[in-house]
Structure 1
Amino acid sequence: MTPFLYKVAEVFLREYSFDLYKLTFVFPNRRAAMFFQKYLAEIAGKPLFSPRMLTIQELFSSLSSLLPADRIEMLVMLYKHFVKISGSDETFDDFLFWGEMLLNDFDDVDKYLADAKQLFRNVHNFRSLDDDLSHLDENQIEALRRFWSNFMPAEGSKTKEKFHETWKVLYELYDSFRTELLERGHAYEGMIFRDVAENIKDREVDEWQSDGFVFVGLNALTPSEMVLLKHLKSIGKADFYWDYDSPFVHDELNRASLRVKENLTRFPSRFEIADNSSEIKPKMEVIGVPSGVGQAKFITQVIQDLIKSNDIADPDEAINTAIVLPDENLLLPVLYSIPEEIDKINVTMGYSLSNSSIAGLINHLSLMQQNLRKWNGEDAFYHRYVNAVLNHPLVSRSAGPDSEQLKSHILKYNRIVVPVSEIPTNSLLRLIFTPIDDWRKIGGYLHEILSTLYNSLTAEKHADMEKMQPGDLSVEEEIDADMSSAGTDDLEREFIVQYYKTVTRLQDTLSEAGNMSIDTYFRLLKKLAHNITVSFKGEPLSGLQVMGVLETRAVDFENLIILSFNEGVFPLKNSANSFIPITLRKGFGLPVYEHQDSVYAYHFYRMISRPKNIYLLYDTRSDGLQSGEVSRYFYQLKYLYNDYFDISERVVTYDVTTPQIAPVSVDKTDIIMEKLREFRQGGSKSLSASLINNYIDCPLKFYFTAIEGLSEESEVQESVESDVFGSIFHRLMEIIYQRYKNSVVTIDVLNEIIKDDSYLTAIIEKTFAQYYFKDSDNPRPLEGQYYLIGEILRSYVKQTLNIDKQFAPFTYISSEYRFNREYKLNDELTVNFKGSIDRIDRVGGSVRIIDYKTGAGKTTVKDIPELFDDSKSKRPSQILQVFVYGLFYLLENPSVELSPAVYYLREVFKDFNPTIKVDKKVVSNLAEYLPEFTEMFNELIEEIFSPEIPFYQTKNNENCKWCAFKGICNK
C-alpha cells in the first residue's frame, strides 16, 4: 500500500527537485501536512528546503487582513445589536441559545456566498423574491416556491406576520453586526472566507509570494473556496490533487461521490498520479462489543494480534496503525488499553479541557453557587454540592483533614444546608464557600481557587522531591518515580493553568455584557473549556496514531481500527439548529443534512480504501436513545461492496448468566469465638431483642451487625425517615407522660392533653430540633414538608391518647425503662443483655409494658413457637421483642402480674386494641407463657454461642428484600 500523500510527494520531487520550496502546498488539516513532509524527506534521502505548507483555513487567513474574533465576544456584540435593533428587553441569558444559532447561520451564509439581503430581508414578501430571482437556478426557485406554499399558505395570519418581522430584524442584525466587526478588523471564519472570495480578483499576480499553490486531498469545497481555486487556476498558480482512487467514491449511488466528478472536471491535476490499488482483498472485521469501555479494552487484543501476525512489524514505532475515535470520550479508556508492547503513542486530537478533573470541580462549584440558599438569615450551601466539592480529589488533597472534618460535621448535625459560619478556617475552603451573588465576581472567585490549588500541587511536588535522598533509588527508579508521581500532577497543573487562562479570557470578553445570571456565566465557561484541548507530548511522526475522524483526511494507514462504529455516531446524527428552514437552505445553496452525510461518507470510504487490516468496533447495547445498531456503512459494504473486502463479523459477549451461588456461611473460628466472648459475662458488649430478631431472620445478618459491627453508611437525611419519625414519636410520648409519673391518668387528663395544641406544637418543635435538625438548643417553627410531618405526628399522638382512654384510669410508671444485666442460661453460659422499654403503666392490678412501632403489624400470635419460626415471611418479631422485655422486667420485678402490648401507629386509626393475644387469649399474665418462651429463647442463645453451628444465610428470601447486606451474600 502506497499512501496517497507519498505518491504526491514522489511526483513533485521528480518534477521540481530542489525548486520545490517555491511552491505552497495546501491540505485539509495539519496532520496531512506533517505526513507529506515526512514522505518528502524519506523520498529525497538528503536535506532540501521544505515548501510552505498550509491548511485551507490558514490560506484564507493569510489572504485576509481580518483577524479571527473571539466567539464569546461576538455573542455579546450580537446581543447588543439585537437589543438596539429590535427594542427587545430580552436578557442575555435568553438570547444566548439562539445567538449561537445566528452565528452559525451567518457563517454558512458567508462561506456559501449567499445573497444575505435576499435571504434575510426580502423573503417575507414572496412577490419581491418573485420579481428578482436572477441569481437562482430553476431548482432553487422551485424549492423556494414549495417552501412558501407549504409554510405560510394563509394570508394575514399572525404567525406569518411575526415570521416576516423576525426576518426583517435578522438582516439588519447581520448587516450591523458585520459592520462593527469590520470596523474592529475582526471577523468570524465565514467573513474571512467571503472577504477573500470577493476581493481575490483585485490582487496582482506578483502579490502571491509563491510560484504556485498545490491543493492536496480536499473534497467538499464551499463556494468561497471554489472562487479562490478558480482564480488561482485562471492565473496559472494552482494545481489540484484529489484523493479519489477508491472505487467507492466514484459510485454515483454512494453519497461519497457527491462532488467527485465536479471537482475532477473543474480542477484537474497537472501531473498524473499512478493508481496503486492492490488486488489483495483487505481484511475487514466488524466486532460488536457491549459498551464503549469494552471496545477500548478489546483494542488490547486487536493490537496484540497485529503484532503477532507481523502487521505491526516494529511495536516501538507502529506508525502504520491508527485508532480512530468518533467519540472523543473514549480517549482515556483507549490510552489505558493500549498494550505495553507499544512503546510510542501519538495523540493527534488532544484532550479536551472539559474532560479534565478541574473541569469537574468547576462544575460542582457552579451547581453549588447556583443553589445558594438562606438558613437562619445567613448564606448556606446545599449539602449534596458541598460534599461533591469536598470529595473532589484536588480539594481533599489540598484541604486535608479540614475537608473530612466538615463532612463529619454535616453528617453529625444532619445539615441539609451548610451555613457559611460553619465552614472551617482552612484558606481553600473559605475561598470555595464564599457566596457569589453577581456573575462579575465569579472570575476573581475562580482565579483565587485555581491559584490556591496550583500552589498546593506545586508545594506537594517540591516537598516530595526534598524527601527523596540522592542514592535512594537507581536512575531508572528515579525516572519511573518522577513519571508516576509528578506526571499526573504536572498534567493537573497544566489543566489548572489552561482553565485560569480560560476564565481570564471569558472575564475580559464579558466586561460589557450587562445583566446575566450566574448559570449563564458558567455555561459560557463550560463552552469555552470544551473547545480547548491540551496536547499530549510526543513525536508526531512516530508511534501508534490515535486520532479523530477529521484528522484522518488525506492520511493512510495499513492497519485501521475504528471505534464507536454505530449508527448515529459514525456517521454523526446531528441536525444543526438553524433559523433558516431546510427548504430555504436548499434554495440558497446552503449546506443541509445531505451535505453533511456526503462528507462523512467520503471520509469513511476514503479511509478504508488502502489499509490491509480494518477493524470496525461498535457498541451492541440498546439503552435509552442508543439503539445498539451498527453503522449503515457496514450494510453498504456487506451488500454492495462485499467483493472488495474479506469481511467477517463477530460479537464479543460476556458470560452474564447467573452462576449457582454457593450458600454463604461463616464458621465460628477461634477469632470469632473470641469476639462472641465479648457478649458473655464480663464482656463489653450486650445482646438485645433486636439482635435476637436479627439472628432468627438470618444468622449471617446477626454476624455482620453484632460480631463485625457493620452497618449502612450514614448520610444526611433530607426527609424524615421512618427511624427518625419513630424516635420523635417515642420522645413525644415520653415528654407527655413524664409529667404524670407515678400519678393516675384519667380520661379528663387525656382529653386536656389532646385539646392543648399549643403544648403539642411546642414539644413537636423541640423533638424535631433534637432528632432531625440535631440542634436541641434552637427549636424553631416547622415549615414546608416538616410542618406536614409535624401535623402527622400530632394526629398520631392524639389518636394514641384516644386509644389510651379505653385503659383509663391508669397509673403511669415510666418511659424508656432501661435494663442492662447479666442473664444466666446455665453454669457454662451467662450473657449480657440490654434493652429499653418504651412505656410502663398499671391498669387495675396488672402492669403493662408497651412498645411503640411506626409500622403495621398484628397483636395476635397462634402459639409461642411462631415467634421463633424463621420460615414465616411475616413473623411477629414485634411480639417476640415485647416478650423479651417482659422476661427481663419480671427478673427485676418478680412479683408483678405483667401484660404486654404493642401500639402500631398505622393501626391506631382502626378498631385497634394493643394488648397481645396468644391463641386468641389475652396475655394478662405473661408469667403463664414464660416457661415455654424461656426454653426456646435459651436454646436460641445457646445456638448463637455454639462453636459447631456456623452463621448461615436465611432460607427465607423474603427476609432479604430490604436487607442492607444482600449485596455481600448475593441473595
Structure 2
Amino acid sequence: MQTFLEHIIDDLTRKGENLLELTYIVPSRRVGVFLTRYIASRYDQPIIQPEILSIEEFVSRESGLEIKPDLEIIPHFYKAYKSVEGVQAESFESFLSWAMTVLQDFNEIDRYIIPTDRFFTYLGNIKELSDSHWSLEANPTKMVSDYLKFWKRLHLYYQALVDECKKIGISYQGLAYRQAHELIMNNASNLKDNYVFLGLNALNTAEENIIKELLDTGKAKIYWDTDQYFLSRPYHEAGNFLNKHFNTWKYFERNSPQFIGDNYSKNKQIHITGASGNLTQVQIAIKKLLELPNNELSETAIILADEKLLIPLINALPSEIEHYNITMGLPLETVGYSSFFKQLVTLYTSMTNNGFYYKDVQALCNTLLFKTVLSKSSNTLQNKIHQENLVVLNKQIIADVVDEPWSKLFEPLNKPNDLVKYALEFITHAKNVLIDQKNKRFELEQLVGIYEVITQIQNLLSDYPEISDYRTVEFLYDKLISSKTLDFIGEPVQGLQIMGLLETRGLDYKNVIMLSVNEGTLPAGKSTNSYIPFDVKKEFELPTYSDKDSVYAYHFYRLLHRVQKASFIFNSDTKSSIGQKEQSRFLVQLINDQENDHQLMIESYEVPNEIHSRELISIDKNDHLINRLKEIAQSGFSPSALTSFVRNPLDFYRQKVLRVDQLEEVEENIEANTMGTIIHSALEELYKPYINQVLKKEHFKLLFKQVDEQLQIAYYKTYNTNQIPTGKNKIIFEVCRKYINKLLQLDLETIEAGSELIIKSLEKDIRAHIDHPELGVIHLRGNVDRIDLYNNQIRIIDYKTGQVKSNQLKIKDANYQDIILNYEYSKAFQVLMYAYLYEKEYGVLPDQAGIISFKNFKEKFIKFSDEQVDNKHQITVEILDQFEKQLFLLLSDIMDPNQPIIEKTV
C-alpha cells in the first residue's frame, strides 16, 4: 500500500512541480528524513536536498527570533519582572514557584494570538470574582491583596518579558509564533510561492492564519493525512480538527482537501491484549514481534505510549533483531546515574545543625553513581549506621569512612554553589573511573548529560548568588533533567523502528505494536499545568483537555489508516495507579465499532500470583535500643506512639526508636495529617477569645465571618508560603472551610437546643507520670484538641479529619484487653488515655471522652462507651482502673529487655 509521503511525491510530480525547489513544512524532523529518502528515489543521480523544515523551525525563521527552552527564558523573565516590581520584587526562589506555569500560559496566549489587553483584564476580573470570599472582605489580608495585585499586574510582566526578549533577539515559543504571524500576515506577498505543508492536524491560531494566508495568496499547497471514515462522522474526536478546518476555511469553499484516503475501514488484523504489569507488556510485545516475518521488520514500529518502558524493551530485544532504530531519545531522568545529584541535594535540604539524617545518607550511598565510584565506602558507612544504630551522622563520622576528597560532599556547606562545585568534581572523577573500564559508553553518555545539566544550574547560581535554598536547586535540576534526553545512534530508515506516539506523525507502517494503551496515558487525562481557568480558556478559544484528547485520538487512529496488523497492549495490573489499569477508551471504541472490516482479537496474559512467605522480622533489645526506650519513657509516651506498637511493633521501632518520622517531606498536595493541622490551628484561633465563656448565639455571627481569615493564616503558617492555594490544594482548602463551618454549626445547634457550652481549653498539653510496679517511673503525655463543659459535664474531645464510627469507641463484654491487642480499638485507647491523663493531672474525673469526626458529623460527638454498664458513656474510676491495667501490660511489653520487637502482619 502506498504511504502518505509517497502519495504526496506522486501528486506533486504529476502536477509538474520541481521537487527540489519546494520548501516542505512537516510535523517533525523525523518526517523530513523519510521525505528526503522518497524524493531521492525519484532521481538517478545525487541531489541537493530540498529545504525541509519542521513547523517550529519555519516559524522561528520567519519571526527572526531564536526560540529558547522555557528554563533558559526564566532568568530573562525574572529581569523583566524586577523591572516592573523594583524593590518590591520577590526573590528568585519565590519567583520560580509560579514563573514556569505563567510562562507556559504566555506561550499559549501568544500561539493563539489572544488580544492581551482584553485577556489580562478579563482574567484579573474573573480571579477577583472567583475568589470573592477573599476579595470582598472589608479588610483583606496583605496576602489576599498581593494575590489580587498579582493578577492585575500580570499584563505588565508579560509586556516587560516581550520587550526584553525582542531586545536581545531570543524568544519563548509563543512569542516567535505571534511575531511570525504578524510579519507574514502583513508581508505575505514578499514570501516565496513554493511552500508545501503536509501531515498537520491540530493548528494553533498563528499556524492556522499563516497557512490560510499562504493558501489564499497562492504561495502554498497543503496535504492532509486523514480518512473518509472520520470526516463522515462528525462525532468522532479523531476528525474534530480537520472537520473544523474543512468547514470554516474559505480556501476549501473552492478547493477540495488533499489528501483524504479511504483505508481505515479495510481489512486489518487488530489484537488487543491485557497484560498484568509493565514487564509482561514488554514480553508480549517481543512475542508479537517474533511472530512477524524478518523481511517485514523495516515496516514495523513499536510505539511506547509510556517512555519509561524504553529500557526494559531494549533489554528484552532478542539477538535476532539485528537492526533497529530508536527515535524517541531516552529521558535522562530515567537513567540510573541521574538520581545521584537529586539525593545529594535532598541530603542538604534535610540537614540539621547536628548533621545528616541517616535515611538521606543511606539513599545517597545507594545511588548507582556513588556505589560505582565509592563502593567500599558506601558499604562501610551503611554497616556503621546499622551496627551503631545511628540516626544523625555528623561530618566526623562520615570522614572516618569516606576517603578524601569525597568526604567534602558531606561538609556542612552554606551555599548551594559549593555543593554544585563538588558534585561536578565528583562526576568528573566518575568519568575517569569509567573510562578505564570496558563497555561503559552508555554510562559515560549519562555522565556527560548529567554534567551538562548541573553546569546549567551552576551558571544560574552564578547569575543569581542570592539563591540559598537547596529546594530551589532541586527544582532546577528536576526541570532541566526532565527535558533532556540521550539520543541513540541508529539507521533512521532501516530495521525495526522504536518510537513515541508523536514520532509517528506522517509515517506509515505495515505492522504496529503499541504498549501502555491505558486510560490516563493515552489519552493523558484532564491534568493541566496552567493558571488560566477552564471557563476563561473556553471564552478565548484556548485549548482545553478535551482538545488535547482529540489530538491523541487523531494520532492513534491515523496509525490505523494504512496498517495491516496492529497489536495494542495495555497494563491490566490492578496495582496500577487509579484509572490507569483501564484500557484506553480508544480500545473500547475499536471493540464496539462494527462499521468496518477489521478482524478483532481480544486476549489477556496474567502472571501467576506466587506468594513468597518470609520470616517476620524480630529485633533483640540491645543496649542502644533499651537506652532509646528509656529516653522515650523520660520524655513521655504519647497515645499515637503506644497505638503504633499495638498495630505493629516494627512500625513503633522505625518511627519512635529510629525516628524515621522526624524527616519532614515536602507535600505538593495537602496530605491528611497536614489538613488536620490546618483545621486544628484555625479552630484554636477562632475559639481562643471565648475560652471560659458561656458561648452565645451572637458569638457565632462573628465566628462564621472569621473562618476565612483564620483558615488563610493557618494555611500560610503551616506551609510557610505566601501563595494562595491553587489546584488540588485549593479544593482541599475548601474542604477545610466546609469542615470548620460544620463544626461551628454543630456547636451553634447545641446552644440553640438550650444546652450550655463552655470551652475550657484548646490544644491542651497534658502530662502525667506513673509508678509502674516493674519499670519504675514512666512519663505519659498527650495533646487534647478540646476540653469543654457541656451542661456542666467535662468532655474530652479529639477532632478527626478521617471517618470514625461509634463502634470504634465501644468496649463490649468488658474485654478491655482488646485495646492493647487489636488496633481496631486504637480510637478507644486514645480517648481513654486522654481521660486517664486528665484525671492524673487535675485529680478530677472527666465525664465523657470521645471524638468529633469531620467525615461523620451526623453522629456529632461520638462518645466512648462501655456496653456492660448502665450509664455506658460515663467515665468512671472502674473504667480508668481497667485502662490502667492494660496500659501497664503494654508498657511492660515495650520496655521488657528480654522481649524482642516482633513484626506483625498487617
TM-score tier after normalising by the smaller chain length = 0.5 to 0.7
2:387 matched residue in structure 1? 412
2:457 to 506, 517, 523: 506
Contact 2:225 2:259 in 1 (8 A): no
1:494 matched residue in structure 2? 445
Answering whether residue 605 of structure 2 is matched by residue 652 of structure 1, we say: yes
- Cα distance in structure 2, aligned partners of 1:433 and 1:372: 10
Contact 2:234 2:243 in 1 (8 A): no
Give the SS at the match of 2:200: coil
Cα distance, 1:494 vs structure 2: 1.2
- Cα distance in structure 2, aligned partners of 1:338 and 1:94: 46
- Cα distance in structure 1, aligned partners of 2:773 and 2:90: 52
Alpha-carbon spacing, 1:301–1:106, altered in 2? closer, same or farther (3 Å): same
2:23 matched residue in structure 1? 24
Q: Aligned ranges for residues 620-659 of structure 1 at < 5 Å?
A: 620-623=572-575, 624-641=577-594, 643-656=596-609
1:397 matched residue in structure 2? 372
Q: Aligned ranges for residues 362-373 of structure 1 at < 5 Å?
A: 362-373=341-352
Q: Note the residue ranges of structure 1 that are not aligned, 5 or more in a row.
A: 127-146, 462-484, 665-700, 702-710, 715-720, 733-756, 758-781, 786-790, 802-855, 858-904, 914-958, 967-971
Give the SS at the match of 1:53: strand
2:676 matched residue in structure 1? none
1:784-838 Cα offsets, whole Å, 9 max, x none, are 99xxxxx99996776499xxxxxxxxxxxxxxxxxxxxxxxxxxxxxxxxxxxxx
Cα distance, 1:572 vs structure 2: 0.8
Superposed CA RMSD:
4.1
1:705-729 Cα offsets, whole Å, 9 max, x none, are xxxxxx9799xxxxxx744478659
2:220 to 231, 238, 249: 238
Contact 2:515 2:568 in 1 (8 A): yes
1:526 to 451, 466, 478: 478
- Cα distance in structure 1, aligned partners of 2:625 and 2:410: 35
Structure whose alpha-carbon radius of gyration is higher: 1
- Cα distance in structure 1, aligned partners of 2:302 and 2:210: 34
Letter in 1 for 2:273: I
1:629-669 Cα offsets, whole Å, 9 max, x none, are 1111122222235524211211112333769x9xx9xxxxx
Cα distance, 1:150 vs structure 2: 7.9
Cα distance, 1:350 vs structure 2: 0.5
Alpha-carbon spacing, 1:226–1:516, altered in 2? closer, same or farther (3 Å): farther
Letter in 2 for 1:560: V
Q: Aligned ranges for residues 552-563 of structure 1 at < 5 Å?
A: 552-563=504-515
Cα distance, 1:302 vs structure 2: 0.8
1:104 matched residue in structure 2? 104
Cα distance, 1:400 vs structure 2: 4.2
Q: Aligned ranges for residues 217-296 of structure 1 at < 5 Å?
A: 217-264=199-246, 266=249, 275=261, 277=263, 280-296=266-282
Letter in 2 for 1:188: Y
Cα distance, 1:577 vs structure 2: 2.9
Contact 1:322 1:557 in 2 (8 A): yes
- Cα distance in structure 2, aligned partners of 1:408 and 1:611: 57
1:445 matched residue in structure 2? 422
1:564 to 499, 510, 516: 516
Letter in 2 for 1:404: N
Answering whether residue 382 of structure 2 is matched by residue 388 of structure 1, we say: no
1:587 matched residue in structure 2? 539
- Cα distance in structure 1, aligned partners of 2:375 and 2:122: 65
Contact 1:495 1:534 in 2 (8 A): yes
Answering whether residue 153 of structure 2 is matched by residue 166 of structure 1, we say: no
Q: Aligned ranges for residues 717-756 of structure 1 at < 5 Å?
A: 722-724=621-623
1:537 matched residue in structure 2? 489
2:169 to 185, 197, 210: 185
Give the SS at the match of 1:614: strand
Cα distance, 1:576 vs structure 2: 1.3
2:184 matched residue in structure 1? 200
Give the SS at the match of 1:324: strand
- Cα distance in structure 1, aligned partners of 2:48 and 2:159: 45
Alpha-carbon spacing, 1:613–1:123, altered in 2? closer, same or farther (3 Å): closer
Alpha-carbon spacing, 1:907–1:26, altered in 2? closer, same or farther (3 Å): closer
Cα distance, 1:374 vs structure 2: 2.8
Bigger mean CA offset, 492-501 vs 62-71: 62-71
Contact 1:299 1:338 in 2 (8 A): no
Letter in 2 for 1:8: I
Cα distance, 1:556 vs structure 2: 0.9
- Cα distance in structure 2, aligned partners of 1:963 and 1:165: 55
Give the SS at the match of 1:608: coil
Contact 2:513 2:566 in 1 (8 A): yes
Cα distance, 1:246 vs structure 2: 5.0
Alpha-carbon spacing, 1:444–1:906, altered in 2? closer, same or farther (3 Å): farther
Contact 1:322 1:544 in 2 (8 A): yes
1:338 matched residue in structure 2? 317
Cα distance, 1:50 vs structure 2: 2.6
Alpha-carbon spacing, 1:100–1:271, altered in 2? closer, same or farther (3 Å): closer
Contact 2:340 2:368 in 1 (8 A): no
Q: Note the residue ranges of structure 2 that are not aligned, 5 or more in a row.
A: 635-658, 663-767, 779-819, 822-883, 893-898
Alpha-carbon spacing, 1:621–1:63, altered in 2? closer, same or farther (3 Å): same
Alpha-carbon spacing, 1:111–1:961, altered in 2? closer, same or farther (3 Å): same
- Cα distance in structure 2, aligned partners of 1:726 and 1:531: 46
Give the SS at the match of 2:12: helix
1:175 to 159, 178, 182: 159
1:327 to 281, 303, 306: 306
Give the SS at the match of 2:23: strand
Letter in 1 for 2:163: T
Give the SS at the match of 2:196: strand
Q: Kindly, what percent of the aligned residue pairs are identical?
A: 26
2:433 matched residue in structure 1? 456
- Cα distance in structure 2, aligned partners of 1:565 and 1:728: 55
1:601 matched residue in structure 2? 553
1:456-477 Cα offsets, whole Å, 9 max, x none, are 112x32xxxxxxxxxxxxxxxx
- Cα distance in structure 1, aligned partners of 2:900 and 2:392: 34
Contact 2:345 2:474 in 1 (8 A): yes
1:420-452 Cα offsets, whole Å, 9 max, x none, are 123236235324323332223233122111111
- Cα distance in structure 1, aligned partners of 2:67 and 2:622: 63
Contact 2:342 2:477 in 1 (8 A): no
Cα distance, 1:331 vs structure 2: 0.9
2:95 matched residue in structure 1? 95
Give the SS at the match of 1:293: helix
Contact 2:618 2:901 in 1 (8 A): no
Contact 2:333 2:481 in 1 (8 A): yes
Cα distance, 1:289 vs structure 2: 0.6
Contact 1:561 1:614 in 2 (8 A): yes
2:876 matched residue in structure 1? none
1:160-191 Cα offsets, whole Å, 9 max, x none, are 98776433211111111211121121110000
Count of aligned positions: 654
Alpha-carbon spacing, 1:224–1:726, altered in 2? closer, same or farther (3 Å): closer
Alpha-carbon spacing, 1:241–1:453, altered in 2? closer, same or farther (3 Å): same
Contact 1:249 1:605 in 2 (8 A): no
2:725 matched residue in structure 1? none
Letter in 1 for 2:360: Y
Cα distance, 1:349 vs structure 2: 0.6
1:4-26 Cα offsets, whole Å, 9 max, x none, are 11111222244447x32111111
Letter in 1 for 2:607: Y
Q: Aligned ranges for residues 936-955 of structure 1 at < 5 Å?
A: none
Letter in 2 for 1:115: P
Alpha-carbon spacing, 1:234–1:442, altered in 2? closer, same or farther (3 Å): farther
Contact 1:383 1:416 in 2 (8 A): yes
1:888-933 Cα offsets, whole Å, 9 max, x none, are xxxxxxxxxxxxxxxxx999968999xxxxxxxxxxxxxxxxxxxx
